[in-house]
Structure 1
Amino acid sequence: MLRVEYREGLYLPDLDLWFDADGPRERCVISHAHSDHIAEHRGIVATPETARLFQHRRGEAEVEALKYGERRDYGRYALTMYPAGHCLGSAQILVEADGERLVYTGDIKLRPNVTAEQAVVVPCDTLVMESTFGDPQYRFPPDVATYDRLYAACDRALSGDAVPVVLAYALGKSQEALELLLRRGYRVMLHGSVYNVSEVYRECGVKFSGEYERYERGNVEGRVLITPPGCRRQPMILNIPRRYLIMLTGWAMSKSAPYMYKDVDLVLPLSDHADYDDLVRLARESGAQRIITMHGAKKFAGYLRELGLNAEHLAQHPSQQKKGSTKRAAAGSERKLFE
């Protein structure tokens, strides 16, 4: 079977093939355009939407675009992209080589995402999967219940002449929240970074259910404001006299959530990742003979083994362990805020 290594990015040494590498590479396959999965590569292989978002965030690169379901042969191997449901353009990558089917999920969400393509389960021999919420405490409630809590919170704030401030990562979750709020008829204003990404979504064909505005100081009354989580400690938010802060994150299910988010008014478990039950379902339904977990709970592989699946957690390659903290390690704290 293909060797799988983590060297500041997923690496298949038998094919000299990189995925989501932390540092610049001559050529790298990109699962999606979040900052902890991209670097200034010379060339990338990605879906057209991810390529456009990559260019928006990182600048120009030589792009080889692969649409969902398009199989491309590279001689020693073939690649096919499938939807991952994490954000616009996010992809699982199927690698076919020497009779083996290996799938790298990148970050994945199996539940419907109103601004991303519906994820699918891809049959494979080897499944390399994320495990961000690979602990039984991370079982999300039905989405409709979370949506209702979001709407109720916004209604309460607006009726009390306060500004609902929705805290969500600029790419992906902000656009999901935007569409949910527009469908409900709210007037929505966006932080500049969220606005710019939303415009790229539009360029890529996403049709939002209404118009939205770019943030203007002193003009937020009667609107729901969407902003990245880090802005809640900045004057933009602190200068709003009456505000109600709503954090959207899967970490809301953590026992530590009241302490992690003590500076916000409400934490709701809306995530762009699969919860524990969906991760287990993905592992089972893939039919994989070998499951490799990464980017999350190391003990998830143990849970899968208890269910009778052949699973192991992918540790950093020994050649990388003496280099100290890496971008991916630093991203762990970012994920606690943004996922």
Structure 2
Amino acid sequence: MNIYYDSGIYVEGRKTRFVVDPTGPIKRDVDFVLVTHGHSDHISRYVLRQLVVATQETFVAMYIRLGSLPTRRITVAPGKFLELDGVHIAVLEAGHILGSVMYLVEIDDLQVLFTGDFNTTGTILTDAAEPVDKPDILVMDATYGDPAYIFPNRAEVYNELLDVVERYTTSGKVAIVAYPLGKAQEVAKLFGTRAGAHITVARYNRALGIPTGMEKNVVIVPSLRSAPTGYFKVEVSGWYAEETTKREAAKRGVYGIPLSDHSDFPSLVEFVTETSPKLIYTVYGFTERFAKHLRRLGYRAYTIPGIMGLAKFF
């Protein structure tokens, strides 16, 4: 079996080929596509002519982003199982955003876990991702695979956000900058009707069943550029766990809060320890740095090979 990255994670078995989260042209014939969630760096219009497996929430996000849906699609949810072309697929909670999932795939008598983006900390919107016992191969997200990224307790982060907004709305207005799919829904859930939303955020909230208030003093916006003039800007992002990033933002008048929908560095390491796979491929983010750290811990861990560096490990 071969696994490699080529604008998507390709898996070639003896009789079946599929791709996970393709973001570019699908250059080879595939039997099906697995999509882990609806962020733009995990979906693209190139899936529209394929047989696509995803959750209902991911198909909602796909329609909003692409204006269309695959004509051939299979809707799944965490806890579901299916078989496609002799490949057994278990769908597991990823904890990243609404509708995000991991896929545990059995192909050619090997088990491969694809995490997509994942979060082992539960939120007010999602359950936590949980490890799988001893898959043969783990293909995992390494977005925050650097020791600098250690996130505070989520309840503390929620309280900090609530306190900052309350403090600055006593004499002004606040724009909360949050990625429109994911953290924006989490922030909207936290504030309820006490916060309004930019049209882009409101569209996702409405489609995903998250109530949005009409408040004008506190608004959730998708980017710093979309913050209304005169509003104090609070941005939520995991990158603010790194102090230099937070200080640089403060110089620009932005209050950064380390609210992330990914696992932090210690959680990534713990997930590997509890999963204990035979082979690990890192993808997205600090891939080589995290793989090197795992090798020091005794794991066979490598950045996922590209098409030119294709190697057979099984």
TM-score normalised by length of structure 1: 0.82
Q: Do the aligned partners of residues 288 and 259 (structure 1) sit closer, same or farther apart at CA in structure 2, a change above 3 Å counting?
A: same
Q: 1:252 aligns with which of 240, 249, 266?
A: 240
Tell me the residue number matched to 1:6: 5
Tell me the residue number matched to 2:205: 198
Distance (Å, rounded) in 1 between the aligned partners of 2:23 and 2:17? 16
CA contact (8 A) 1:167 1:247 kept: yes
Q: SS of the counterpart of 2:41? A: helix
RMSD across aligned positions (CA):
2.0
CA contact (8 A) 1:105 1:130 kept: yes
Tell me the residue number matched to 2:264: 275
1:97 aligned to 2:111? no
Aligned residue type for 2:228: I
Distance (Å, rounded) in 2 between the aligned partners of 1:16 and 1:93? 15
Matches within 5 A, 1:112-131: 112-123=122-133, 124-131=135-142
Q: 1:156 aligns with which of 167, 175, 189?
A: 167
Q: Do the aligned partners of residues 253 and 118 (structure 1) sit closer, same or farther apart at CA in structure 2, a change above 3 Å counting?
A: closer
Cα deviation digits, residues 7-60 of structure 1 (max 9, x gap): 111001223110111124464211000011111111311122212221222212
Q: Do the aligned partners of residues 313 and 260 (structure 1) sit closer, same or farther apart at CA in structure 2, a change above 3 Å counting?
A: farther
Matches within 5 A, 1:21-36: 21-25=22-26, 27-36=32-41
Aligned residue type for 1:314: I
Tell me the residue number matched to 1:332: none
1:38 aligned to 2:43? yes
Gaps of 5+ in 1: 203-207, 214-218, 321-339
Cα deviation digits, residues 94-116 of structure 1 (max 9, x gap): 11012211000000011012122
Distance (Å, rounded) in 2 between the aligned partners of 1:319 and 1:22? 19
Instruction: Count residues in correspondence.
Output: 296
Cα deviation digits, residues 254-289 of structure 1 (max 9, x gap): 244033564243101000000001101111111211
CA contact (8 A) 2:7 2:25 kept: no
Matches within 5 A, 1:142-153: 142-153=153-164
Cα deviation digits, residues 125-169 of structure 1 (max 9, x gap): 211001000011101111122112111111111112x11111000
CA contact (8 A) 2:161 2:257 kept: yes
CA contact (8 A) 1:247 1:264 kept: no
Q: What percent identity do the matched residue pairs reach?
A: 29
Q: Do the aligned partners of residues 53 and 147 (structure 1) sit closer, same or farther apart at CA in structure 2, a change above 3 Å counting?
A: same
Q: Do the aligned partners of residues 148 and 30 (structure 1) sit closer, same or farther apart at CA in structure 2, a change above 3 Å counting?
A: same
Q: 1:224 aligns with which of 214, 218, 226?
A: 218
Q: What is the Cα deviation at residue 119 of structure 1?
A: 1.8
CA contact (8 A) 2:178 2:236 kept: yes
Q: SS of the counterpart of 2:239? A: helix
CA contact (8 A) 2:94 2:100 kept: yes
Q: SS of the counterpart of 2:169? A: helix
Tell me the residue number matched to 2:179: 169
Q: 1:233 aligns with which of 206, 225, 230?
A: 225
Cα deviation digits, residues 175-201 of structure 1 (max 9, x gap): 00111122xxx6211011110101111
Matches within 5 A, 1:175-214: 175-182=185-192, 187-202=194-209, 208=210, 211-213=212-214
Distance (Å, rounded) in 2 between the aligned partners of 1:94 and 1:289? 15
CA contact (8 A) 2:120 2:263 kept: yes
Matches within 5 A, 1:62-101: 62-101=72-111
Q: What is the Cα deviation at residue 78 of structure 1?
A: 1.2
Aligned residue type for 1:31: T
Q: 1:303 aligns with which of 293, 301, 305?
A: 293
Gaps of 5+ in 2: none
CA contact (8 A) 2:119 2:263 kept: yes
Q: What is the Cα deviation at residue 6 of structure 1?
A: 0.3
Q: SS of the counterpart of 1:55? A: helix
Q: 2:143 aligns with which of 127, 132, 144?
A: 132
Distance (Å, rounded) in 2 between the aligned partners of 1:225 and 1:255? 26
1:55 aligned to 2:46? no
